[in-house]
Structure 1
Amino acid sequence: MDDLLIARTLFGTTMGFHIIFATIGVGLPLMILTAELLYQKTKDIDYVVMAKRWTKTFAILLGVGIPTGTIAAVQLSLLWPGFMEVIGRVMPLPFQIEIYAFFIEALFMSIYVYAADRIAPWMRIVSLTLVAIGALASAVLITNVHAFQGTPAGFRFENGEIVDVDPWAAFFNPSFYVTAKHVATSAYVVGAFVVGSVAAFKMLRSEYGTKIYKFHQKALMLTLIVGGIFAFSTAINGHESAQYLHKYQPEKLAAAEGLFETQSHAPLAIGGFTDRETQEVKWGIEIPGLLSFLAGDSFDTVVKGLNDYPEELWPPLFVHTLFNIMVGIGSLLIVISIFGVVWKKIMKKDRFPKLFLWTLVAAGPLAIIAMECGWITACSGRQPWVIYRLMSTAEASTTASNLGILIASFSFMYAILGTAVVAVLLYYFKKNKVEDDLRRAEEKYVPLYGSNS
């Protein structure tokens, strides 16, 4: 491996691990807030127990998300000094504002964790709302740097110097809004279905009709509704993303769809893999004209192919496979949500089929895989540029060598951290069972507010 590939691998390993915790850390506060809102409306203590248990999970995951995020920030400076020179002068606003977003998130989460039972209901809602806003803002602000990499704005290079700097123009770069929406909706999908995986597994392990079974069933229905809404929203946003790529990063769109020849009525390739030699998508299914329609709302839209660009500027062709995995899983999650809601709310059937529950157990990990595939597609699809058509990844990289040992060291550390966080979660919830939390909640809340559970 050359030094550039090693640097990319090292940073990619860090981000691939960190982003799991960061994404769940955005999605889970919305689930907590939704459960708390339902409790305030219905006085069903099941929902307040859900909120509190999910809060404990959030706190544990935050304990890993914060240090891995710090490692990612340090590696940005050490591995990509050329890139950070531009960011420091042109795009400092997201990093500066993110500090305040994280402060709000941490402050009001502390209030909810330690003072929820001593403050008014409306203050509990306000606290959780600010936690959710702070978590989302942190993700959107950091992701805005990625948006800037794809659609740089607010500066220009002149004789190798950075001139005409406008930080706000850089901040509100052309892909800011579409990227922010995609990050938000996909994080909420991951957060919801991770919760749903646990609820489905617990339902399989519980006796049908018991109090514990019904508790997890309520959590599962909340997952299906919230996750389904945002999975559908992510699909809609995907259409916007295709149009933005068509306009600003046509090479990435062509690579994601395995399109080599510029054409109108361009087909959408589903599945298969891209063969560089034959310049076709093998084993895929082509839907005539659909790519042109997605790119420009018309079947006559001309979509540029990879052959319009020098081969050394092509993104890696494996992004087609990763893109299809992301879209395929996203579509599956929409189908799962619709089936679950129809089964329970329309057909009025109380007991889900075991096969459906096992599918839901897999849905959480699948949602994480889809998210990872999406990020790899987004970042690798921009290659060989770190700032699109302005700075190559090689120009931005460190000149340091002998980085291979760091990949092994950090990978080993992440394996330990991943194992530790799973072990802590299992230990905590084994010691703090749902039935015990429900009993304590009944003793505390029913005398005050009553219960509809």
Structure 2
Amino acid sequence: MENLLAARLQMAVSLGFHIIFACVGMAMPFLMAIAEYRWIKSGQQVYQDLAKAWSRGVAIFFATGAVSGTVLSFELGMLWPTFMEHAGPIFGMPFSWEGTAFFVEAIALGLFLYGWDKLRPWTHWLTGLVVGVSGVASGIFVVAANAWMNSPAGFEWVNGAAVNIDPVAAMFNDAWLSQALHMTLAAFVATGFAVAGLHALLLLRDPKNLFHREAVKISLIIGGLAAIFQPLSGDYAAKGVADRQPAKLAAMEGHFSTSQPAPLVIGGIPDEEQQVVHYAIEIPRMLSFLAHGNFDAEVKGLDQIPREEWPPVVITHIAFQIMVASGIIMMLLGLFYYYALWRGKKIIRKRWFLWLIGICTPLGFIAVEAGWIVTEVGRQPWIIYGVMKTRDAVTPMPGLQYSLYLILALYLLLSVIVIWLMYRQIITLSSRYETAKTGG
């Protein structure tokens, strides 16, 4: 296996696992904060039990996220030394701020976990809120660094080196806001639907279990609301991609030929040799509107991009379709849930709805993974868009495939341990609400 492929696969594995831990760490603290808020206001024990169960989940994912994040930081230097040599002084600021946010999050989480009987209720609740805010801030800072790779700023590239470096301009590059907004909402969608789906499946086994019923309600309120707003952030992000990275947009849409107006391609399998998308559905003029807000706008195709600078079209297009389809499904479920709440219908008691939510348990994280494939694969062959190509940044050190195998085995083991720990925590605390023990 050649070095470039092994290095890219290793980063893909590490990022693929870490992003799940990171998303849960960003969103789940707000679920536990809502549960504790309801306990403080109502005095119902079930909400305190939910907050405790979810806080233990936050602790588990915080620990695994710290491990996987540390691995990623080492990989950046070991696998991509040329990249870090030039990029480190430019986009180091968001990483330093991420470290600060992580530090605050760790302190607040410790206070939350061990302060139940030592802090006043509202003070304790506030520490949980700090966990969530610092977790979101941590994610935003990391996304800002990635956004810089897609939209380089804050330096001048002269004779193969960066000069006149401005770390603030680099951090607040043109892509940071759209990517941060889209990623943050994605974290809440994915975590909300995953938590709701897990508790929905357990609720199907014991329909009168109050613990799982309230868990589904809280997580769907958060996940459903985020899913409703997610398409708006996606549209904002896509318009930015159309302006800054036309090759990525063309690969996302399977748009081979520049056209005015341009149709939106739904589904299909791109054929890079024939430069067509087989089995696709086309909506006339819609891509022009989505990309530029004008039904008659010209959309640049891959025919205006040098062939050696094309992203892998098939992977990017299919991943984009999966992301969009998953997002639409969850948006519709979110709208339906809020409609049912508005009409006063107890939709949580319907088995068919619980099955539907249960089936959608992994859907949010599938969308997150697909979205990151679009972001990273769609930027190729560039590691710094328009400045440095990925092949020029990889380490010459041989034998990278062995570290790839080791990392893959490590993350698979870590995932099994996390799933087992989470299942044990939920079952242990929810058992007191089983129908057989409570008399229904």
Q: State the TM-score bracket (shorter-chain normalisation).
A: over 0.9
Residue-by-residue CA offset, 1:183-203 (whole Å, 9 max, x unaligned): 111011111111101210111
Deviations 1:236-257 (A, max 9, x none): 0011011101110111001000
- Which residue pairs with 2:238 in the alignment? 242
Alpha-carbon shift at residue 436 of structure 1 (Å): 6.8
**Residue 277 of structure 2 aligns to which amino acid in structure 1?**
V
Match of 1:451 in 2: none
Cα distance change, pair 429–196 in 1 and its aligned pair in 2 (3 A)? closer
Please report the TM-score for the alignment, with normalisation by the length of structure 1.
Answer: 0.92
TM-score w.r.t. the length of structure 2 is: 0.95
Which of 333, 336, 351 pairs up with 2:333? 336
Q: 1:285 & 1:43 partners in 2: Cα distance? A: 54
Letter in 1 for 2:372: W
Query: For residue 268 of structure 1, what is the amino acid of its counterpart?
Result: L
Shift in alpha-carbon separation, 1:203–1:154, aligned structure 2, 3 A: same
The residue aligned with 2:82 is: 82
Kindly provide the amino acid, as one letter, of the partner of residue 160 in structure 2.
G
Residue 339 of structure 1 and its aligned partner are, at CA, apart by: 2.4
Q: Is 1:284 aligned to 2:280, yes or no?
A: yes
Aligned to 2:196: 196
Q: Find out whether 1:103 has 2:99 as its counterpart.
A: no
Deviations, residues 380-437 of structure 1 (Å, cap 9, x unaligned): 0000000000000011111112111121122112111111222222334444444179
The answer as to whether partners of 1:182 and 1:234 remain within 8 angstroms in 2 is yes
Give the Cα–Cα distance (whole angstroms) in 2 for the partners of residues 347 and 429 of structure 1: 29
Indicate the residue corresponding to 2:56 in structure 1.
56
Give the corresponding residue for 1:233.
229
How far did residue 165 of structure 1 move? 0.6
Matches within 5 A, 1:120-269: 120-206=120-206, 208=207, 210=208, 212=209, 214-269=210-265
- AA partner of residue 47 (structure 2): Y
**What is the rounded CA distance, in whole Å, between the counterparts of 2:152 and 2:434 in structure 1?**
51
* SS of residue in 2 equivalent to 1:364: coil
Deviates further, 397-406 or 343-352: 343-352
Supply the AA of the counterpart residue of 1:394: R
**Displacement after TM superposition at 1:123 (Å):** 1.0
Instruction: Tell me by how many angstroms 1:287 deviates.
Output: 1.2
Q: Could you tell which deviates more after superposition, 32-41 or 253-262?
A: 32-41
CA distance in 1, matches of 2:420, 2:122: 35
CA contact (8 A) 1:31 1:191 kept: no
Listed one character per residue, the Cα deviations across residues 330-368 of structure 1 (whole Å, up to 9, x for unaligned) are 111111222233335415245544332222112221111
Cα distance between partner residues in 1 of 2:406 and 2:115: 40
Alpha carbons 1:79, 1:397 under 8 Å: kept:
yes
Moved more, 406-415 or 176-185: 406-415
Tell me how far 1:145 sits from its aligned partner: 1.1
Higher mean alpha-carbon deviation, 410-419 vs 335-344, is at 335-344
**Structure 2: how far apart are the matches of 1:249 and 1:47?**
47
The answer to whether the 8 A contact 1:200-1:357 is kept is yes
The partner residue of 2:418 within 418, 421, 427 is 421
Instruction: Confirm or deny: 8 A CA contact 2:28 2:54 kept in the other structure.
Output: yes
CA contact (8 A) 1:49 1:437 kept: no
Residue in structure 2 matched with residue 20 of structure 1 by the alignment: 20
Q: How far apart are the structure 2 equivalents of 1:352 and 1:432?
A: 21
- Conserved 8 A contact 2:211-2:430: no
Letter in 2 for 1:188: F
Q: In 1, are the aligned partners of 2:40 and 2:121 still within 8 Å (CA)?
A: yes
Amino-acid identity (%)? 36
Residue 142 of structure 1, CA deviation: 1.0
**Is the CA contact (8 Å cut-off) linking 2:224 and 2:337 kept in structure 1?**
no
The residue identity in structure 1 corresponding to 2:96 is: Q
C-alpha distance in 2 between matches for 1:249 and 1:234: 21
Mapped to 1, the partners of 2:128 and 2:297 lie a distance apart of: 45
RMSD: 1.8
Q: Secondary structure at the match of 1:118?
A: coil
User: Take 1:246 and 1:350, find their aligned partners in 2: how far apart are those partners?
Assistant: 40
Assess, with a 3 A threshold, how the Cα gap between structure 1 residues 350 and 5 changes in structure 2: closer, same or farther: closer
**2:93 aligns to what?**
93
Q: Can you give the 5+ residue segments of structure 1 that lack an aligned partner in the other structure?
A: 439-453
In structure 2, do the counterparts of structure 1 residues 352 and 437 end up closer, same or farther at CA, with 3 Å as the change threshold?
closer
Give, in angstroms, the shift of residue 304 of structure 1. Answer: 0.4
Answering whether residue 406 of structure 2 is matched by residue 409 of structure 1, we say yes
Residue in 1 that maps onto 2:36: 36
What secondary structure, in the 3-state scheme, does the structure 2 residue paired with 1:92 have? helix
Give 1:379's aligned residue.
Answer: 376
Report the number of matched residues. 434
Query: Alpha-carbon deviations, 1:296-319, whole Å to 9, x = none?
Result: 111022110000011110111121
Letter in 2 for 1:112: F
Q: Are the aligned partners of 1:30 and 1:132 in contact in 2 as well (CA < 8 Å)?
A: yes
1:205-244 CA-partner distances (Å, limit 9, x unpaired):
10x3x3x2x3322221222221111112211001101110
